[in-house]
């Protein structure tokens, strides 16, 4: 996948657990796990906005373009 998700890095820096984050942004722990493990095919802007709000970061801190050969 050409887009990487660095959610686990940001979560570690903010010292927030997956359960706490999923509660605060209003998604299930299973859906957060799918996102964290680069298994998601898409992300809603509303979810991205909540992630940025709770984690006090920018979308570019969470999402990264990875050039494929």
pLDDT value of residue 28: 96
Range of the domain at 25: 3-65
Using CA atoms, how far residue 1 sits from 22, 34, 51, 68, in Å, is: 24, 14, 21, 8
pLDDT, one tens digit per residue, over 17-63 is: 999 999 999 999 999 999 999 999 999 999 999 999 999 999 999 99
The tally of domains found in the chain comes to 1
What pLDDT was estimated at residue 1?
58
For residues 63 and 48, what is the distance between their CA atoms, to the nearest angstrom? 10
Residue recorded with tokens 């509303």: 46
The predicted pLDDT at position 68 comes to 83
CATH number for 14: 1.10.260.40
- Residue 37 and residue 4: Cα distance in Å, rounded? 9
Q: What is the pLDDT of residue 31?
A: 96
Tokens representing 10 are 């940001």
């Amino acid at each position: 996948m050409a887009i990487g998700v660095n959610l686990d890095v940001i979560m570690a820096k903010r010292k927030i657990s997956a359960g706490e984050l999923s509660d605060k942004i209003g998604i299930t722990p299973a859906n957060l796990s799918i996102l964290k493990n680069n298994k998601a095919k898409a992300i809603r802007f509303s979810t991205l906005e909540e992630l940025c709000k709770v984690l006090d970061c920018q979308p570019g801190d969470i999402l990264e373009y990875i050039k494929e050969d």
